[in-house]
Amino acid sequence: MTLGTVDDGLESGPGTLSRQDLLALHRTMLRIRHFELAGAKQLATGKLSGTLHLSVGQEATATGVCSQLRADDYVTSTHRGHGHCLAKGADPRLMMAELFGASAGYCKGRSGSMHIADASSGLLGANGIVGGGIPMAVGAGLSASVRGTDQVAVCFFGEGAAGEGTLHESLNLAALWQLPVVFVCENNRYAELSPIADVLAAQRVADLAAPFGIPSRTDDGNDIVAVVEAIRWALSRARGGQGPVLLEFETYRQSGHFEGDAQTYRSKDERDHWLGRDPLLLSEQRLHDLEIEQDILGQIADEAAQEMLDAADWASDQPPAPALSMTEDVYHPEPEPGLTRERA
Ligand SMILES: Cc1ncc(C[n+]2csc(CCOP(=O)(O)OP(=O)(O)O)c2C)c(N)n1
């Protein structure tokens, strides 16, 4: 669709974002929401096997952060990475094909949901290893620094990953070498089934940056404008040669840890509270305040839903990757002369 109906004579929205910007952000959040819902539907109807880690409720963090990145900036993601990939510019059809294990997918059907990568959009990979993407972003930041570019590397991670050694090693090196890395914690309050207080000694993830002299802040991760403001601050430092930054965003995973999770570990009251703070709801309220008509919002939502249903339909028709292709394109060094592969 064209947003031409609100294009003319735009006033500035809050936080130096125009109404057009806010609509574009809203649209990206809707595309993420509907990608997740379309994937869940494929699972529920048995067309897709395995499970998925959905990011329903966390759309504002992926959208806000990636909206301020350049195409050549790097992103590393997590097991809950669909939103990060979409927001960084990945094609939902090629992502969906990965969920189906189809050769047409970004990684020829070998990545599944948790390891989608697309170098052409700077996506160095989602990652099923909790904390695994964090040092990769430091490597990407080091590469940018050595090559003398002004690219930035962003790693998304959860508060559960904040207890992993990889975060602390990565903060150390990024600070020591003053690398252009933005550490982005999506604190969705639960690591699998464990509340944050059971897994992290620090009061806040943002506090973990202080020993390394890294500036940090905690913001509302469900408010798209707050996310954009925070990442703009972080990027002005990281791209400006002032070294790494850590952003913590408070948010809530509305979906289970995985599709099929009975979610007995949280109360209805808690859930209801956060449903009232749904990032799409908050964004819609703001757009209403800016006098954007409901018809326009409805049209954007319908288009996002249709796009993702079509992507799922298309992907489900793609031929699965042949089993024997599994070892193709996988790094395995040749054995030294005189050694057989078995002995090497
Ligand atoms: C190194 C490693 N340890 C444990 C796991 C099992 N595991 C998968 S998801 C998860 C919780 C991660 O929590 P968090 O980092 O907060 O991300 P969220 O699931 O909340 O998005 C764990 C422990 C894993 N995949 N990798």
Average pLDDT, the chain: 93
Q: What is the pLDDT of residues 87-119, one digit of tens each?
A: 999 999 999 999 999 999 999 999 999 999 999
Q: What is the mean pLDDT of residues 176-188?
A: 98
Rounded percentage of the chain residues whose pLDDT exceeds 70:
93
* Token pair for 199: 């897994």
Cα–ligand 1 centroid distance for 246 (angstroms): 19
The count of C-alpha atoms lying within 13 angstroms of the C-alpha of 245, restricted to the half-sphere facing its C-beta, is 23
| Ligand 1 closest atom vs CA 196 | 16
CB burial of residue 35 (10 Å; 0-12, 13-18, 19+): buried
Quote the crossing angle between the two packed helices 19-44 and 92-99, to the nearest 10°. 20
Find out whether the beta carbon of 192 lies less than 6 Å from any atom of ligand 1: yes
| Lowest-pLDDT range of 8-22, 86-100, 146-160, 174-188 | 8-22
φ/ψ of 218, rounded to 5, equals: -115, 130
Name the residue with higher pLDDT: 324 or 336. Answer: 324
Q: CA–CA separation, 139 vs 237, rounded Å? A: 18
pLDDT reported for residue 1 = 34
Q: Is the CB of 159 under 6 A from ligand 1?
A: yes
The answer to whether residue 239 scores a pLDDT higher than 70 is yes
* Whether residue 129 has its Cβ less than 6 Å from ligand 1: yes
Contact between 30 and 304 under an 8 Å Cβ cutoff? The reply is yes
Is any ligand 1 atom within 6 A of the Cβ of residue 79? Answer: yes
CB of 130 sitting under 6 A from ligand 1:
yes
Q: Which residue has the higher pLDDT, 320 or 334?
A: 320
Ligand 1 centroid distance, CA of 131 (Å): 8
CA dist 100 and 97 (Å) reads 5
pLDDT at 15 over 70: no
Could you identify the atom of ligand 1 that is nearest to the CA of residue 129? 26
Lowest mean pLDDT among 44-58, 127-141, 325-339: 325-339
pLDDT of residue 16: 85
Strands 216-220 and 245-250: parallel
Q: Give pTM, 2 decimals.
A: 0.94
CA of 36 to the centre of ligand 1 (A): 19
CATH of domain 17-39+50-315: 3.40.50.970
Percentage of the chain surpassing pLDDT 90? 89
Kindly list the domain boundaries of the chain, sorted by start residue.
Answer: 17-39+50-315
Query: CB of 205 closer than 6 A to ligand 1?
Result: no
Digit-coded pLDDT (tens) for 44-74: 999 999 999 999 999 999 999 999 999 999 9
CA of 280 to the centre of ligand 1 (A): 25
CB atoms closer than 10 angstroms to residue 10: 15
Atom 22 of ligand 1, residue of closest alpha carbon = 192
Phi, psi dihedrals of residue 52, rounded to the nearest 5°: -140, 150
Find the mean pLDDT for residues 299-324. 97
Ligand 1: distance of its center to the CA of 167 in Å? 13
* Residue-level pLDDT at 343: 47
Has residue 217 got a pLDDT over 90? yes
158 CB less than 6 Å from ligand 1? yes
Give the residue whose CA is nearest to atom 7 of ligand 1: 130
pLDDT surpassing 80 at residue 337: no
Choose which residue among 56, 192, 193, 257 to substitute to test ligand 1 binding: the one with the highest number of ligand atoms within 8 A of its C-beta.
192
Residues 279-300 pLDDT 10s: 999 999 999 999 999 999 999 9
Mean pLDDT along residues 212-223: 98
Token representation of residue 211 = 């020993």
Mean pLDDT of 306-334: 90
pLDDT reported for residue 2 = 34
Per-residue pLDDT band for 11 (boundaries 50, 70, 90) equals very low
The pLDDT, as a whole number, for residue 261 is 96
**Per this entry, what is the length of the chain?**
344
Dist. CA 237–CA 267, nearest whole Å: 40
User: CB within 8 A of 252, min separation 6: which ones?
Assistant: 57, 58, 188, 189, 222, 274, 277
Cβ–Cβ < 8 Å for 65, 59: no
Span from the CA of 314 to the centroid of ligand 1 (angstroms): 31
What are the start-end ranges of the E strands in the chain?
74-76, 123-125, 153-158, 181-187, 190-191, 194-195, 216-220, 245-250
Q: Is the CB of 321 under 6 A from ligand 1?
A: no
Mutate to test the pocket of ligand 1, among 52, 79, 255 (most ligand atoms within 8 A of CB): 79
According to the model, what pLDDT value does residue 281 have? Answer: 98
Question: What integer is the mean pLDDT of 169-182?
Answer: 98
Distance in Å, CA 139 to ligand 1 centroid = 22
CA-nearest residue, atom 9 of ligand 1: 192
